[in-house]
Amino acid sequence: MRHNKNILKFPSLLIFLLTGIIAFSQTNKQADLEARRQELRLEIQKISQLQAENKTKQKSQLSLIQEFNYKISVINNLIKLTNQQANLLTRDINDNQKRITGLRKELENLKKDYAGMIVKSYKNKNQQSRIMFLLSSEDFKQAYKRLQYIKQYSNHQKEQGETIKAKTIELQEVNKNLQKQKNDKQNLIAENRELQKSLEKERTQHESLMNSIKKNINVYASQIKEKQREADRIDREIENIIKAAIASSNKKAGNKATTGSSSSFALTAEEKVLAASFVSNKGKLPWPVEKGYVTLAYGTQPHPLDKSLTTQSNGVRIATEKGSKVRAVFNGEVSRIVLIKNANPVIMIRHGNYITAYKNLSKVYVKEGDKVTTKQAIGEVFTNPMDGETVLSFTVFKEAKTENPASWIYKM
Domains: count for the chain: 2
pLDDT digits (tens, 9 = 90+) for 282-334: 999 999 999 898 988 999 988 777 777 788 899 999 999 899 999 999 999 99
Q: Which residues contact 237 (CB under 8 A, 6 or more apart)?
A: 338, 340
**What is the spatial distance between Cα 203 and Cα 363, in angstroms, rounded to a whole number?**
37
DSSP secondary structure of 341-404: TTS--EEEEEETTEEEEEESEEEE---TT-EE-TT-EEEEE-B-TTT--BEEEEEEEETTEEE-
Q: Are residues 56 and 150 in the same domain?
A: yes
Rounded CA gap, 149 and 133, in Å? 11
226 within a domain of the structure (yes/no): no
At residue 386, the pLDDT reads: 80
225 within some domain: no
d(CA 89, CA 174): 14
Q: Which amino acid appears at position 141 of this protein? A: K
Q: Return the CATH number at 391.
A: 2.70.70.10
pLDDT at 116 over 80: no
Angstrom CA distances, 220 to 114, 227, 300, stand at 83, 11, 19
Last residue of a domain, one of 214, 232, 258: 214
114 against 69, higher pLDDT? 69
Question: Which residues 6+ apart lie within 8 Å of 3 measured at CB?
Answer: none
Mean pLDDT check: name the lowest of 54-68, 89-103, 162-176.
Answer: 54-68
More confident residue, 27 or 360: 360
pLDDT tens per residue across span 369-385: 999 999 999 999 999 88
Cβ-contact 157, 121 below 8 angstroms: yes
User: Out of 133-142, 179-188, 302-311, 372-381, which region has the weakest mean confidence (pLDDT)?
Assistant: 133-142
pLDDT of residue 157: 62
| Within-domain flag for 128 | yes
Rounded to 5 degrees, what angle do the CA atoms 72, 82, 70 make? 15
Is residue 165 located within the same domain as residue 37?
yes
Question: What domain range includes position 400?
Answer: 267-407
Q: Which of 374, 370, 364 is nearest to 329 (CA)?
A: 374
pLDDT at 176: 86
Q: How confident is the model at residue 388 (pLDDT cuts 50, 70, 90)?
A: confident
pLDDT band of residue 27 (cuts 50, 70, 90) is: confident
Are both 73 and 137 inside the same structural domain? Answer: yes
More confident site: 159 or 292: 292
Domain shared by 192 and 299, yes or no: no
d(CA 136, CA 142): 9
**Residue 151 predicted with pLDDT over 70:** no
Residue 150 located in a structural domain: yes
Same-domain check for residues 63 and 166: yes
Query: Do 29 and 147 reside in the same domain of the chain?
Result: yes
Residue 279 · residue 293 · CB < 8 Å: no
